[in-house]
Amino acid sequence: MPGRVEDKVAIVTGAASGIGRGTAEVLAREGARVVLTDVNEEAGREAAKAIGGDAVFVSHDVSDEQSWRAVIDATLGRFGRLDVLVNNAGIIIIADVESTTVEQWRKVMAVNAEGVFLGCKHAIPVMRKSGGGSIINLSSAAGLVGTPPFAAYSASKGVVRILTKTVAAHCREKGDGIRCNSIHPGGIDTPMVAAITKSRRGGIAKIEELAAPGRAVGYGERGRVVMNHVSKNMLLPNNLERDLAIRIPPLPGQVGDSVADVAPSPASTTRPSSKGCTDEPTDLR
């Protein structure tokens, strides 16, 4: 039985570990031909080998435009098209707004915000030639509410959220058949988050402190969330410009968007606005 994205070609950034690897594994399992990219070449090649089939690894610095051109060229050279881009690569620096240096701010923004911009910029023309596609940008619950220990990270993920809406509106106006959505996870059990909790920096000792109550999950589950959204985009042309958000209650001192008290329930649904975008909670299970 064909998978939900049978023979689609997907690029997944930051795919050597965590959410990126989990996403690549699920996409491949559902029939996609996956290009895994990462700055960690050893882990990236191991991940591609473990997935097997048509999966390939390409070394990639998402903050470098020439590196993006090389990844797109490698994908077209191998598979001849591009249908899916998952902008997952990201970094985090634990520092509040007063202690964050300009160099730290720029480093986080270069990877988390500029990297997503470059991915969208270079994927859209290629997807257009392929007849359409799906762009999934990994934002964060930290991009929905202020998170004091991660000033630059939170700001960068807020950029991803609004850039996603802008790209979605742009592609809708162009009539490209290209969908762009953002996903906003809470605490996910990835190597990056594990490093934070292990160090206890920022006053965070447990992953549950980064998640909605009872919703700290493994990255394999997050990979399924991305898969579900990609497949819906492929099959339902008008079901697109949406943020999929795990809304978490603000910690003391946090301010930001209105949020739900708990993670979404199975009955949660999105409500389209007049612009075709929503900020309402969506069930991610």
Q: Residue 275: inside a domain, yes or no?
A: no
Whole-angstrom distance, CA of residue 259 vs CA of residue 15: 30
> Residue 2: what pLDDT?
77
Model confidence at 146, pLDDT cuts 50, 70, 90, reads confident
What are the structure tokens assigned to 212, written together? 């909605």
Instruction: Domain count for the chain, please give it.
Output: 1
Q: Residue 103: inside a domain, yes or no?
A: yes
For 50, 93, 152, 180, the CA distances from 149, given in Å and listed in that order, are: 35, 9, 9, 29
Q: Residue 167: inside a domain, yes or no?
A: yes
Catalytic annotation, pick one of 123, 153, 185, 224: 153
Mean pLDDT of the 72-101 span: 97
Question: pLDDT tens digit string along 158-182?
Answer: 999 999 999 999 999 999 999 999 9
Q: Residue 260: inside a domain, yes or no?
A: no
Tell me whether residue 219 is one of the annotated catalytic residues.
no
Whole-angstrom distance, CA of residue 61 vs CA of residue 115: 8
Q: Which amino acid is at 271?
A: R
Q: How many residues does the chain have?
A: 285
What global pTM score does this model have?
0.74
Q: Residue 205: inside a domain, yes or no?
A: yes
Burial of 12-50, coded b for 16+ CB within 10 Å and e otherwise, reads bbbbbbbbbbbbbbbbbbbbbbbbbbbbeeebbbebbee
Model confidence at 213, pLDDT cuts 50, 70, 90, reads very low
What are the structure tokens assigned to 26, written together? 């699920």
* Element at 191 (helix H, strand E): helix 191-199
The pLDDT > 70 percentage for the chain reads 65
> Residue 285: what pLDDT?
23
Domain of residue 20 covers 9-245
Q: Residue 252: inside a domain, yes or no?
A: no
The pLDDT > 90 percentage for the chain reads 59
User: How many helical (H) and strand (E) elements, i.e. helices and strands, does the chain have?
Assistant: 8, 9
Question: Please, are residues 218 and 26 in contact by the beta-carbon 8 Å criterion?
Answer: no
Where do we find the tokens 């939900």? Answer: 4
Mean pLDDT of the 206-221 span: 41
Whole-angstrom distance, CA of residue 156 vs CA of residue 62: 14
Q: Residue 256: inside a domain, yes or no?
A: no
pLDDT at position 227 over 50: yes
Higher pLDDT, 76 or 270: 76
Q: What is the CATH number of the domain that holds 99?
A: 3.40.50.720
Q: Residue 139: inside a domain, yes or no?
A: yes
